[in-house]
């Protein structure tokens, strides 16, 4: 091809490219123009369609996860409630059928709802039927699950879809099966399901799950909801609480609060080695003089601890090698008066004119007895002797024991301790002395408990734990362990002396009045005046006892605080502690006896399930068994025969057209069978199945939801 021909060919190609380019520019211009037009003045119809589509879509709320106690008992759950509607133009609801059942149905509905008479229900149903209503609300009252199941057995309604009945499922109500027990620690929710106190708030993200999206479509003359995006149910939280121990603690606390007519009180039970909080009771007096959980005082109350802090002061002086338990201090007649302050012991006596009498006091007593009898003067003179000229050293020891450091407590609202410091304006000698027995500081009760738990735990101070794990359908996703705050509070030598003194408080000192004949315990009483700054007011006090039991081998630590009782009584906090310790100890003896009796069972308990899997397990463990039924059936029940010392295995078949009976199966097999038949499963709890919401043997409805209640093993 010549150069001229090549040039001519090139020009022709360029002309074609130019035409194509021009067309693309024109097309882009048209698209751009229409986009601007729709976005500004011409998009009304399109926006209406988009708005309509948006209005037709629905948010499908996820089922909020459950909260369990440490033994698998349900302590917070979202309970489903139902509202009944009827399609009065359903194919199976002809007039003859409607007239046949309306009288008996009206009677049943009146008994169920209790909102109208049978005659009123009959008139209501007949009016809706004559009007041909497609989505008639039978009654505005919501029914719980038991009532829902009962209603489905009513005349006419037992025909199912042919009766025209359908249900709205509203899983929005959060319930505490054990009522007010640990209500503030478990927590509450806003109306929309968001937790705002306690474990509900601490684990709100995990419990909430993820909502789905649904649309309403009109089918067979009525609108039904179809999920576009399925919701993801929330995870479950297994707490450290033991609901039986919680009941013991709350009952004991309420009893003493009523007797003493106190403003509020709290009691916290902690497992020594793990730091797990087994019970936490917080009761406040209401206007009707009853007590209820209004505020989590154990975590949030900033009060001066009083004499329970003396243990820390003595521990510091002993560990510094400055004092010894046998050292004697002169407490005089129970008062110590300086120019600008006066300190007294609880056994000080007064003359008729209000002056101090020369008849009270402990006089010369050892440091150990100062602890036994809770002598303010004895402890203060010891601290004054060794730290008067170096108060910062004493305060630094308090900080080093992590008593001021915030604990990593997952429950929202926990307060932080407050101490005055020698570097602050206004500090003087009296500040140090009053600090030695629990004033000039504010400490939530949970911090005092963590300190005493450290004494019981061989000197190791750990963080209080409120949750054991996060679970999904019984599977543990995350475990919560013990966190160390201070690996050693003091030397082993000091710890032995401190524990001996705390035992002496109960056997010989201020705790002798509530010493138990059932269980040994050790600890320290505490009394703090709550309004000492008001010289004209009637004195009000806070009483407390913090310790652990059994004294020789501590398993639990506990603190009880009784705030501002209006009736005088001896050691209300100590008596509450004793009640809790005795009941917990008795409970554990009974539990131990049950475990020993259970060891007598020779043959193991097995769940029903896959026949081949059961045979494999029995063969591997050399457990004798006998097979009944045909091998073509994949599923089997088991039962133990103690006389013959073997296990009976009876195989059975399962139809895909009917709902299987999965009670007694493990969660894995139960879910497999239900989902194989096209049903959706919601698990509640963990362990074997104890009940199912859709009855066995009924016809399978594809996509229907079945709730399986599991039992913790």
- CATH code where residue 494 lies: 3.40.710.10
Task: Please tell me whether residues 314 and 345 are part of one structural domain.
Answer: yes
How confident is residue 170, by pLDDT bands cut at 50, 70 and 90? low
Question: Are residues 541 and 608 located together in one domain of the fold?
Answer: no
More confident residue, 56 or 496: 496
Q: Are residues 324 and 447 in the same domain?
A: yes
- Both 159 and 272 in one domain: the answer is no
Please report, for the domain that includes residue 163, its CATH number.
3.90.1310.10
Residue 673 pLDDT: 79
Of 272, 365, 353, the residue nearest 326 (C-alpha): 365
pLDDT at 275 exceeding the cut of 60: yes
Q: Which SS3 state, helix, strand or coil, does residue 651 take?
A: strand
Write the DSSP symbol of residue 687: S
Over residues 112-127, the pLDDT tens digits come to 998 899 999 999 999 9
Q: pTM of the entire structure?
A: 0.71
Across residues 63-69, what is the average pLDDT? Answer: 89
Residue of 349, 345, 326, 325 whose CA lies nearest to 336: 345
DSSP string for residues in 617-645: HHHHTT--EEEES-TT--EEEEEEETTTT
Tell me, yes or no, whether 248 lies in a domain: no
Alpha-carbon distance values, 183 to 264, 295, 354, 395, 711 (Å): 15, 10, 47, 37, 23
Q: What is the mean pLDDT of residues 461-475?
A: 93
| Overall average pLDDT of the 419-433 stretch | 93
In this predicted structure, the answer to whether residue 288 has a pLDDT above a threshold of 80 is yes
Query: Residues 67, 557, 551, CA angle at the centre, nearest 5°?
Result: 145
pLDDT value at residue 642: 53
370 by DSSP, 3-state: which? Answer: helix
8 A C-beta contact, residue 137 and residue 85: yes
545 is a domain residue: yes
Q: Is residue 648 part of a domain?
A: yes
- Kindly state the average pLDDT of the residues 439-456: 96
Residue 208 sits in the same domain as residue 332? no
pLDDT digits (tens, 9 = 90+) for 480-529: 989 999 999 999 999 999 999 999 999 999 999 999 999 999 999 999 88
CA 233 – CA 65 distance, rounded (Å): 7
Q: What is the pLDDT confidence band of residue 52, given thresholds at 50, 70 and 90?
A: very low
Task: Tell me what the mean pLDDT of segment 197-210 comes to.
Answer: 91
Please say if the pLDDT value at position 62 is more than 60.
yes
How many CA atoms within 13 Å lie on the side-chain side of 267? 30
Domain that holds residue 85: 61-239
- Write out the DSSP string of 271-338: ETTT-BEEEEEEEEE-TTS-EE--S-HHHH--B--GGGGHHHHHHHHHHTTS--TT-EEE-TTSEEE-
- pLDDT tens string 367-423: 999 999 999 999 999 999 999 999 999 999 999 999 999 999 999 989 999 999 999
Residue whose pair of structure tokens reads 């002169």 in the numeric block: 330
Residues 699 and 641 in one domain: no
CATH of the domain at 681: 3.30.10.20
The answer to whether residues 342 and 235 belong to one domain is: no
Pairing of β 625-628 and β 556-565: unpaired
Report the alpha-carbon distance of residue 1 to residue 677 in Å, rounded: 75
Report whether 548 contacts 452 (CB < 8 A).
Answer: yes
Taking only the tens place, the pLDDT of each residue in 591-616 is 565 555 554 444 455 566 676 766 77
Please indicate, yes or no, if residue 589 is contained in any of the structural domains.
no
| pLDDT higher than threshold 90 for residue 157 | no
In a domain, 402, yes or no: yes
Say which residue, 660 or 573, is predicted with more confidence: 573
666 DSSP assignment: B
* Confidence category of residue 5, pLDDT binned at 50, 70, 90: low
- Is the CB of residue 103 less than 8 Å from the CB of residue 274? no
Are 267 and 296 in contact, with CB atoms under 8 Å apart?
no
pLDDT at 54 (0 to 100):
46
**Omega prior to 550 cis, within 30 of 0:** yes
Check residue 221 and give left, alpha or beta (phi > 0: left; psi -120 to 50: alpha).
left
Q: How many domains does the chain have?
A: 5
Residue 151 placed within a domain: yes
Give the Å distances, CA to CA, from 200 to 175, 234, 467.
12, 12, 12
> Please, how many CA atoms are within 13 Å of residue 666, restricted to the half-sphere of its CB?
15
Q: Indicate whether 633 and 613 sit together in one domain.
A: yes
For residues 60 and 63, give the distance between their C-alpha atoms in angstroms, rounded to a whole number.
Answer: 9
Q: Say yes or no: 627 and 562 in one domain.
A: no
pLDDT computed for residue 600 by the predictor: 46
Please state which of the ranges 208-212, 221-225, 261-265, 424-428 shows the lowest mean pLDDT: 221-225
Of all residues in the chain, the percent with pLDDT exceeding 70 is 82
């Amino acid at each position: 091809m010549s150069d001229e021909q090549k040039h001519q060919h090139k020009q022709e190609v360029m002309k074609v490219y130019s035409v194509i380019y021009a067309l693309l520019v024109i097309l882009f211009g048209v698209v751009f123009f229409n986009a601007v037009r729709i976005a500004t003045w011409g998009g009304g119809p399109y926006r209406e369609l988009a708005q309509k589509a948006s209005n037709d879509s629905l948010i499908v709320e996820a089922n909020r996860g459950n909260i369990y106690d440490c033994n698998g008992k349900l302590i917070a759950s979202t309970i489903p409630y139902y509202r009944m509607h009827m399609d009065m133009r359903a194919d199976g609801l002809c007039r003859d059928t409607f007239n046949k059942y309306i009288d008996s149905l009206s009677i049943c509905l009146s008994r169920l709802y209790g909102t109208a008479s049978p005659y009123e229900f009959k008139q209501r149903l007949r009016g809706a039927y004559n009007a041909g209503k497609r989505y008639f609300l039978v009654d505005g009252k919501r029914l719980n699950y038991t009532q829902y199941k009962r209603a489905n057995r009513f005349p006419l309604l037992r025909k199912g879809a042919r009766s025209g009945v359908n249900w709205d499922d509203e899983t929005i109500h959060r319930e505490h099966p054990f009522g007010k027990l640990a209500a503030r620690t478990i927590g509450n929710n806003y109306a929309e399901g968001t937790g705002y106190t306690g474990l509900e708030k601490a684990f709100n993200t995990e419990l909430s799950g993820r909502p789905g999206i649904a649309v309403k479509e009109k089918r067979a003359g009525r609108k039904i909801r179809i999920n576009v995006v399925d919701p993801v149910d929330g995870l479950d939280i297994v707490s450290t609480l033991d609901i039986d121990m919680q009941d013991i603690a709350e009952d004991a606390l309420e009893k003493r609060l009523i007797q003493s007519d106190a403003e509020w009180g709290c009691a916290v039970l902690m497992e020594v080695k793990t730091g797990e909080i087994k019970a936490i009771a917080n009761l406040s007096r209401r206007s009707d003089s009853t007590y209820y959980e209004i505020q989590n005082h154990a975590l949030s109350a900033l009060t001066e601890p009083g004499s329970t802090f003396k243990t820390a002061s003595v521990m510091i002086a002993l560990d510094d090698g400055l004092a010894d338990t046998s050292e004697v201090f002169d407490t005089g007649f129970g008062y110590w008066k300086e120019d600008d302050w006066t300190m007294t012991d609880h056994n000080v006596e007064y003359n008729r004119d209000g002056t101090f009498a020369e008849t009270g006091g402990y006089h010369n007593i050892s440091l150990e007895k100062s602890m036994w009898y809770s002598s303010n003067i004895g402890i203060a003179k010891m601290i004054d002797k060794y730290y008067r000229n170096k108060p910062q050293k004493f305060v630094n020891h308090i900080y080093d024991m992590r008593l001021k450091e915030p604990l990593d407590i997952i429950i929202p609202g926990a307060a932080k301790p407050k101490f005055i410091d020698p570097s602050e304006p206004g500090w003087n000698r009296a500040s140090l002395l009053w600090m030695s027995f629990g004033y000039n500081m504010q400490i939530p009760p949970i911090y005092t408990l963590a300190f005493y738990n450290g004494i019981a735990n061989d000197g190791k101070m750990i963080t209080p734990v409120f949750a054991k794990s996060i679970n999904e359908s019984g599977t543990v996703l995350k475990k919560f362990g013990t966190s160390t705050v201070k690996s050693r509070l003091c030397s082993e030598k000091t710890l032995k002396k401190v524990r001996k003194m705390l035992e002496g408080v109960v056997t010989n000192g201020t705790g002798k009045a509530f010493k138990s004949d059932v269980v040994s315990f050790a600890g320290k009483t505490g009394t703090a005046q709550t309004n000492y700054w008001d010289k004209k007011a009637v004195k009000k006090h806070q009483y407390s006892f913090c310790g652990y039991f059994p004294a020789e081998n501590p398993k639990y630590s506990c603190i009880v605080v009784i705030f501002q009782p209006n009736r005088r009584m001896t050691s209300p906090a100590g008596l509450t502690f004793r009640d809790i310790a005795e009941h917990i100890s008795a409970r554990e003896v009974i539990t131990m006896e049950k475990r020993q009796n259970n060891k007598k069972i020779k043959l193991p308990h097995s769940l029903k399930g896959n026949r081949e899997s059961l045979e494999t397990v029995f063969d591997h463990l050399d457990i004798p068994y006998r097979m009944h039924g045909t091998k073509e059936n994949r599923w089997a029940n088991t039962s133990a025969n103690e006389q013959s010392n073997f296990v009976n295995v009876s195989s059975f078949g399962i139809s895909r057209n009917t709902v299987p009976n999965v009670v007694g199966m493990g969660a894995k097999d139960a879910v497999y069978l239900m989902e194989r038949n096209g049903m959706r499963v919601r698990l509640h709890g963990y362990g074997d199945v104890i009940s199912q919401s859709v009855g066995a043997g009924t016809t399978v409805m594809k996509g229907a939801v079945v709730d399986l209640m599991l039992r913790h093993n």
